[in-house]
Amino acid sequence: MGENIIVPTDFTVESLFTVKKFLQQNPDAEVNLLLVHGYRMPLSITELLFFSKAAQLSKLAGKEFNEGLTILRNKYTHQRITINADLFLGYNQAAFQNFIGGYRIAKAVVPKSYRLKSTGDNGFDIMKFIRKSDLKVIEYDWAISAGLPEKNHVSELLFDL
């Protein structure tokens, strides 16, 4: 049973480089990484009736993102890690504190210069909640080499940064 760490994501392959950098920098870590994205619940009763968190997660995490997760899990099989994804459905700092308390999260691993992208009308970046929380924040900066043969593809995760 490892340490629980939150990693903000926008469900792009680029956001997985933060996870990759963390795993490269902490080869002996036993951790449970929780990739989290903010999502505003629908306001209409009809939309709420048919809202499913699992269905929304599946919709947001596309084929490339899931392939990227598989690559990371396979590349770092020697490390004792688990990687899961979830949505933060709250609207304020108190809800975020409850969210991280429920998962017993003490640290956040965030990208230093990469800015998370919007995932549609209801998606939002949770970085402001992370910064205001009492979590220990670890920042990783990474740059993708311009000389990679598979630029902007999931296979970039196979190359060392």
Answer yes or no: is pLDDT of 101 > 90.
yes
Q: What would the mean pLDDT of 3-26 be, rounded to a whole number? A: 92
Residue 25: CB atoms within 10 Å: 11
**DSSP designation for 158:** G
pLDDT, tens digit (0-9, with 9 covering 90-100), for 107-140: 999 998 888 887 777 899 999 999 999 999 999 8
pTM of the predicted model, to two decimals?
Answer: 0.86
Q: What's residue 152's pLDDT?
A: 55
Q: Report which of residues 27 and 148 the model is more confident about.
A: 27
